[in-house]
C-alpha cells in the first residue's frame, strides 16, 4: 500500500517518538536496526522528514534524532505519508494506469474512490502519539 520509503519513514517516526517520550535522542544506527532499512536510504528519508519539520536532529556526541512532545501529539500519519510520497496514494490509479480519472476510469476506479476516502480519513485522524503509546504499552509491535 505504501512505498518502501514511506513504510520506513512511518516506522522511524514511531520509533523516534517512543524514545523522545522518554527524553532520549536516537542515533541513525539505532533507527536503521529497529526499522530494518538500509542506512543511506534511511538518511534520505529522515532528511525529507526533517525538511518538512516532522523530526529534528542534533549533531555531536549527545546528538541524534528526536521529536518534540507537542509534535508527537499533533503529527498525523498523513503528514508523514505526504512528506515522503506526496498525495499519489490518494490520486494515482489503483491499477497504475497513466490516464485514469472520473471521466476516463480504469475498471477499479469507482471501487478505489471509497477505499481512498476511508484511508485518507484514517491517516488524517491517526496521530503519532497514538502509535507510540501502542508500542510503549506493548499492545503493538514495531520490529519484524
Ranges of each domain in the chain: 4-137
pLDDT band at 66; cut points 50, 70, 90 = very high
The angle formed by the CA atoms of residues 131, 135 and 139, to the nearest 5 degrees, is: 100
Residue 132 pLDDT > 80: yes
Is the predicted pLDDT of residue 1 greater than 80, yes or no?
no
pLDDT value, residue 52 = 97
CA–CA dist 39, 64 (Å, integer):
14
Residue 88: pLDDT band by 50, 70, 90 thresholds? Answer: confident
pLDDT band at 91 (very low <50, low <70, confident <90, very high): confident
Distance CA 8, CA 2 (A): 10
Is domain 4-137 given the CATH code 1.10.10.10 in the classification? yes
Amino acid at each position: 500500500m505504501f512505498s518502501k520509503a514511506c513504510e520506513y519513514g512511518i516506522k522511524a517516526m514511531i520509533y523516534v517518538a517512543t524514545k523522545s517520550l522518554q527524553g532520549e535522542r536516537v542515533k541513525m544506527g539505532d533507527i536503521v536496526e529497529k526499522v530494518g532499512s538500509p542506512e543511506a536510504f534511511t538518511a534520505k528519508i529522515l532528511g525529507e522528514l526533517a525538511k518538512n519539520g516532522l523530526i529534528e536532529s542534533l549533531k555531536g556526541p549527545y546528538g541524534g534524532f528526536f521529536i518534540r512532545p507537542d509534535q508527537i501529539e499533533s503529527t498525523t500519519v498523513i503528514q508523514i505519508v505526504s512528506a515522503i510520497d506526496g498525495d499519489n496514494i490518494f490520486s494515482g490509479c489503483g491499477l497504475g494506469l497513466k490516464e485514469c480519472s472520473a471521466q476516463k476510469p480504469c475498471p477499479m476506479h469507482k471501487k478505489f474512490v471509497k477505499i481512498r476516502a476511508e484511508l485518507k480519513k484514517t491517516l488524517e485522524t491517526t496521530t503519532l502519539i497514538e502509535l507510540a503509546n501502542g508500542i510503549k504499552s506493548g499492545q503493538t509491535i514495531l520490529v519484524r
